[in-house]
Amino acid sequence: MSSTNRGAVRNKDDYYVTPHWLIEQFLDAIKGTDLENRLMTDDVLDPSCGGCSLYEPSYPAVLAQRFNGINLTTADIRIDARTPFAGLNFLESRGVGDYGVVITNPPFNISIDFVNKALEHVCPDGYVVMLQRLNWLGTKDRKAFWDKAPLQSVYVHSKRPSFFPDKKGKTDSIEYAHFVFKKGSKGTTPNPATIHVI
C-alpha cells in the first residue's frame, strides 16, 4: 500500500513491504493497553501477510519478535506469499469470531471490505488493526462506512514511511496511521475515536 504515483497501481498485486519500524512504533504506542494484552494472549490473524522471495512477512516477523509464543495465523491471496495459506482470498473466507485480533496492511482499494470481513473474524470485543493512509478518513464514498465503523483509535505516524526497501531514504508522499476498530463499540458517533500522534 503506497500513495506513490497516486492513481496508478505500482505493483500489479498491490503488494508493498511494510517497514518493521512502523509496526514497532505502533506496538510501542499501545504498551499497557487491552489491545497489547490481546496480542499476547489471544489468537491473532494477519490475512494479508505478504512476504516474497526477498522479504519476510512484516507483521509476523515483528509480532513474533515482540511477543514470544504469539498464536498467529497468516494468509495472503498471493500464491508466492510466505505463508502456509498462500492463495487464500480473505474476502471469500467465512468469519466465525475465532480471533481476538486481526492486524494487517491490506490492499488500499479493498480496505473497507477487509475491515468488514475482519470484524466477522474477531470475537465480541475483539480488535481489528489496519495500516492505512491518513486520508482514508476522507471522501464522500467512505462517509457511510465511517458513520457506522466501530473505530476506537487512530495512531498517526509522524514520520512518513517508504514501502520500497531498495529505495533508501525515499519516503512516501503521505502520512500513514494504524486504525484500531473494536467490535461491538458504537462507532465514531457519539463516541469519537482517540487520536494519537506517534
Instruction: Kindly state whether residue 6 falls inside one of the protein's structural domains.
Output: no
Task: State how far the alpha carbon of 141 is from the alpha carbons of 7, 146, 175, 180, in Å.
Answer: 16, 10, 20, 20
Mean pLDDT of the chain: 82
pLDDT at 84: 82
What band does 116 get if pLDDT is binned at 50, 70 and 90? very high
Residue 172 within a domain: yes
For residues 52 and 174, which has the higher predicted lDDT (pLDDT)?
A: 174
Residue 80 has pLDDT above 90, yes or no: no
Report if residue 53 sits inside a domain.
yes
CATH number of domain containing 97: 3.40.50.150
At residue 11, does pLDDT exceed 80? Answer: no
Q: Which domain holds residue 45?
A: 20-197
Instruction: Count the domains in the chain.
Output: 1
Q: Is residue 13 part of a domain?
A: no
Per-residue pLDDT at 53: 64
Cell 505516524 -> residue:
157
